[in-house]
Amino acid sequence: MDAATVDQIQLNFSPASLGALNVIIAIILFGVALDLRVSDFRAVLRKPQGFAAGMICQFLLLPALAWACILLMRPDPGVALGLLLVASCPGGNVSNFLTAMARGNAALSVSMSGVSTLASIIMTPANFVFWARRYEPTEALLQTLSLSPSDIFMTVLLILVIPTLCGMGAAARFPELAARIQRPMHMLSMVFLGLFILGGLLGNWQAFINHVGVAFGIVAIVNALGLTAGYTLARLAGLDEADGRAVAFETGIQNSGFGLLICFNHFAGLGGMAIIVAWWGVWHLISGWGLATLWKRRIPRVPER
């Protein structure tokens, strides 16, 4: 099978399963926000270089790198849309775990995740539509689907931003309860998301096997570029090693679960798009775990003050 047929496949996801995905993503964001405090955002303001490097990499550099790879590799329109979508999503909460595992600045990672989630209400639809209109095949596909930025805006608001704000509000109002339930809630929601993705893969196994080769190379390249660019820009900005590791993971680890939600809610599970987003969700765990394992063996040098 080649990329010319990938958008013609029909993936098997029921309305009930898509409703469950909406709930799972909202619960994950609520659980992550239980660990966020207003003081985290104040800390970002006291050391803005790390935050600025993370936001530039996440919302400007990664989508631009994805677009450049699309121009060079000329993939199928659905594949290109999937890559642009996942590159426009906010950082995944797995980045916080990987940063801690890699001896990076976990506090900076959590702060960047929170800020990027809130910023995604504007940046995700704006980035996705902007870059999709810079590539003729994806621009034509967007016009066919009649998608507007406001469609994605409402999804981001309902599924990402509101649960995040509710989680922060609950943590501020009931700090002891939030501290007790944050970890088990996070673990449980990630298990549910993992089961959902596993069920989706098993239910569409043949289609996935036939077409994963289309996704493998381009996802691996863009993910590697994201991790490398995040670390490199952070170090060029004068950040220390621990901060650089946090920015790297925040750039290369995306909220692919939310990307799947947008794909099925607004693009009817377009074949190439769904396979790219689903495979990114698998691959960034493999690449992120490998990098975190490597960095874990190297204690970051503390800069002299």
pLDDT at residue 4, as a whole number: 44
Q: What pLDDT digit, counting tens, does each position of 206-257 carry?
A: 666 776 677 788 999 999 999 999 999 999 988 889 899 999 999 999 888 7
Pick the residue with more confidence: 201 or 274?
A: 274
Q: What pLDDT digit, counting tens, does each position of 13-28 carry?
A: 555 666 676 777 777 7
- Asked if residue 305 belongs to a domain, the reply is no
The whole-angstrom separation of Cα 134 and Cα 188 is 40
- Asked if residue 9 belongs to a domain, the reply is no
- Asked if residue 176 belongs to a domain, the reply is yes
- Asked if residue 221 belongs to a domain, the reply is yes
CA separation (Å) from 44 to 53, 110, 206, 228, 277? 11, 10, 46, 22, 30
Residue 297 backbone dihedrals phi, psi, to 5 degrees = -80, -10
CATH number of residue 188's parent domain: 1.20.1530.20
- Asked if residue 3 belongs to a domain, the reply is no
Domain that holds residue 90: 15-295
The whole-angstrom separation of Cα 259 and Cα 256 is 5
